[in-house]
Chains A and B, each alone.
Chain A
C-alpha cells in the first residue's frame, strides 16, 4: 500500500519572539503571543531560502529512509516563496541530493498546501508504478509585511516526504481534497508581500475548507474522530487549529502534539507537514493520524495515515522536529529585518 518511506524536516536556527515584534509596532506585547497562540517564529538566515531548506529536509528524509536517491523518479517542491519566479527550485534540490537525471520534476504552488498537493501527486505516480519513489516537499520562507498581522506568524521551515509502495513506515490509507475559488490571501506577481482579507481568512476560508475536507475524509473512510489517535491541521496561528479541533469535537490532547506553530510560527507550505513529522517522531506503531492541510485561494487536502512497525527502526538517524525547535538563536528585530531583507538601501 502506498505510504511514507521516509521523512525529514528542517527549521532555520534563528528565532524572534512575537513580543519583540509587538514592541516595535507599539502593540501590547504581553497580549500578542497569547492572542495568536504564537510565541516565537523561525527566521531564515541571510543565506537560507526555500532551496536550501528543501535540500536539508530532503537529505534528512533520504537518510532516514535509507534509500538510493537515484531511485527517486519525481521531485516536487511546494512553496509560495520559490527563489525564482521562472526556474524550478526542484532541480536544485534533485541535483543536491543526488537524484538521477532520468526523473520528472516541478515546483508546486497552492499557498500553504502546495506540499501536500505534491504528496498526492507522488501517491498517484507510485500507485500507478510510474515511479518507485516520489519526493514531495513543502517549504517556505514566508513573507509578512512589516507591521501587518502576518508578521507575527510568517516563518520559515520545510518538510520532505518520500512516497512509495515498498518499505513504508506509515501507510496513507486515503486522501481527499476540497477546493473552491475563495480569495482570502494572495500575492500578485512582483509584489514583495501578500495581502489578506483580514477576518475573511477565518470562517469562509480556513474553517470552511478544513472542516469540509475533514468531514469528507471521515465519510469516505467511514471513520470518526474516535478512530484516530492524533490530529494535525494547518497552523496559520495557534488559535485556528484549536478552534477547528473544537468544531470537529477533537479532544484537545489528540491535537496538542502537532502544534509546532507556538514555537516556530507558521511555516506555510511546511506547516501541517512539520506538524505531521512531529507526530511521526513520537507515535507508536499502529497509531492513526488524521491530517488536513489548508491552502489559501482556497483548498484543503485531508489524509488518513497509519503508523507502521518499521518506523521504530528509522528513528534516531536524523534530527527530530523537536531537535530543530530546541536548536535556536534569538535575534532582535533589527537583525531579523536585515536577514529578511526588509531594510532597503
Chain B
C-alpha cells in the first residue's frame, strides 16, 4: 500500500513547508570487518534501530534516502533505495541512493533535509551503508580510488594515501607540522572510541605504536589512515512540527550546506587547505546564525590524520598551520574547548565510506541529546559535522542544535 496519502495532501491545500528539520531517531550497526554479515543485514539493522529509536511506525515514513559510494563494485548490488525499503518491509515509497564519494552519507542527510524542508516529504528514513570487506584489498583500494580524478590521479597510482601524503608533506614543510603531531589525531580518536560500543576499534593506541606503524606513503603510516570498514548508520528525520509527537528530545538541523572544489588535488592553489571545507562551514554557521564559539562538539572527516589537522584549521578552530598545535594543547579533546571526533572519528569508529556522513550526524545527535554516555561532552547544545569527499572536492557541513 502506498504510504503517501494523496487525498489528504490535496485536502490540506498542498504541501506544508517546514521551518526546521528534526532528527527524532538514530541508529547504527557495530562497525568492523563484518565477514558474516551482508550489505542487507547491516542496512536493515541500522534502519530498524533508527526507527525503533524514533518511535515512528513504518507507515509514518514517506521517503527513504541512502548514502552509498560503490555497492555496485563492492558487493555487486545497486538500487539500494528499493532494496532498503524492501528488506525493511516499508511498502511503497520514493527511495533512492545518493553518491558523493566519502561524502555520500552527508549528501543523503542533506537530500532528506531539503526534501522535508521543501514540504515534499514529512518523515524520512536516511541511511548510509557500505560493505567493503567482500572484495580483496587491492579491489577495495581501486574502488575507493575512483573518487579521485581517475584520469589524472588514480590511474597514475596517486591513491588517496599518496594524495594525502602530498598534503601532509607540504603541511610539514610550510608550517613545521611534526610527525608527533601527525600521530595525535589517531591517539585522541582511539581514546574516544574506547567508550563507543559501535566503534570498530574500541581501544587506545599509544603514540609510539602509531609512529612505528608501517609506512603507506611517506610520511603517512597505516595508523594515520582510516580502516576498511563494513557499517551502516541511520536517522529518522521529520518536519519540525511533527517531532514532538514522537520524542521529547528532538535534535534540529540548524543548517545544511555544501561546497565544492576541483576534483584533482593538483588543480588547487593550495594543497594544505580545503576551500570547500572553509566555504561550507562558514556558510553553515551563517545560515544557523551562529559563530564558531557557539559550537560545543564537532565531527571532522579524518580519513587520514592530516585531514583532521587541515579540517581543524579550515573550520576555524586553529589558525592555518596550527592544527597540530591545537592537538598538542588538547583543545580538540573531550573536555577541551572544541572536542573533535568524540565518536572515535573515521580512524577508530571505522570508515564505511557511504555510511560515514550519517554516522557523524548520529554522534552529534547523541551528544546533543545527552546520550553519549562516557564520551559525553557536558551540556553540548550545538554541534558541527563536516563530511568530505575525496581530497576535498566535496564538503558537506551540518549544524545541529537542540
Which of under 10, 10 to 19, 20 to 34, or 35 or more describes the interface residues of A?
10 to 19
| Residues 128-141 of chain B, each 1 if its beta carbon lies under 8 Å from chain A, else 0 | 00000100110000
Interface residue from A27, A28, A198 paired with B137 (Cβ < 8 Å)? A198
Q: Does more than half of chain A's interface fall in helix, strand or loop, or is it mixed?
A: helix
Rounded to whole angstroms, the CA-CA distance of A27 and B213 in the bound complex is 12
Contact partners of A46 in chain B: CB under 8 A: none
A199:B214 contact, CB within 8 angstroms: no
Contact partners of B35 in chain A: CB under 8 A: 200, 203-204
A199:B33 contact, CB within 8 angstroms: yes
Which residue among B35, B137, B212, B215 has the maximum number of chain A CB atoms within 10 Å of its CB? B35
Contacts between the two chains (Cβ within 8 Å), count: 16
Contact partners of B133 in chain A: CB under 8 A: 200
Among residues of B, the one whose C-beta sits closest to the C-beta of A28 is B214
Interface residue from A31, A197, A203, A204 paired with B136 (Cβ < 8 Å)? A197
A31:B137 contact, CB within 8 angstroms: no
| Number of B positions contacting A (CB below 8 A) | 9
Rounded to whole angstroms, the CA-CA distance of A28 and B215 in the bound complex is 9
Q: In whole Å, how far is B254's beta carbon from the nearest beta carbon of chain A?
A: 41
Q: In whole Å, how far is B36's beta carbon from the nearest beta carbon of chain A?
A: 7
A204:B36 contact, CB within 8 angstroms: yes
Residues of B34-86 contacting chain A, CB below 8 A = 35-36
Q: In whole Å, how far is A316's beta carbon from the nearest beta carbon of chain B?
A: 46
Contact partners of A203 in chain B: CB under 8 A: 35
Rounded to whole angstroms, the CA-CA distance of A199 and B34 in the bound complex is 12
Q: In whole Å, how far is A53's beta carbon from the nearest beta carbon of chain B?
A: 31
Among residues of B, the one whose C-beta sits closest to the C-beta of A204 is B35
Rounded to whole angstroms, the CA-CA distance of A199 and B214 in the bound complex is 16
Rounded to whole angstroms, the CA-CA distance of A200 and B36 in the bound complex is 11
Contact partners of B212 in chain A: CB under 8 A: 31
Contact partners of A31 in chain B: CB under 8 A: 212, 214
A198:B136 contact, CB within 8 angstroms: yes
Among residues of A, the one whose C-beta sits closest to the C-beta of B133 is A200
Among residues of B, the one whose C-beta sits closest to the C-beta of A184 is B35
Among residues of A, the one whose C-beta sits closest to the C-beta of B214 is A28
Contact partners of A197 in chain B: CB under 8 A: 136
Q: In whole Å, how far is B220's beta carbon from the nearest beta carbon of chain A?
A: 15
Contact partners of A200 in chain B: CB under 8 A: 33, 35, 133
Residues of A190-249 contacting chain B, CB below 8 A = 195, 197-200, 203-204
Rounded to whole angstroms, the CA-CA distance of A44 and B136 in the bound complex is 30
| Residues 118-145 of chain A, each 1 if its beta carbon lies under 8 Å from chain B, else 0 | 0000000000000000000000000000
Contact partners of B136 in chain A: CB under 8 A: 195, 197-198
Rounded to whole angstroms, the CA-CA distance of A247 and B215 in the bound complex is 30
Among residues of B, the one whose C-beta sits closest to the C-beta of A195 is B136
Residues of A171-201 contacting chain B, CB below 8 A = 195, 197-200
Given A31-B212, A199-B33, A200-B133, 4 new contacts (CB under 8 A): A28-B214, A195-B136, A200-B35, A203-B35
Residue pairs across A and B with Cβ atoms less than 8 A apart, 5 shown, are: A27-B214, A195-B136, A198-B136, A199-B33, A204-B36
Closest 10 CB pairs of A and B: A204-B35, A198-B137, A200-B35, A199-B33, A28-B214, A198-B136, A197-B136, A204-B36, A28-B215, A31-B214
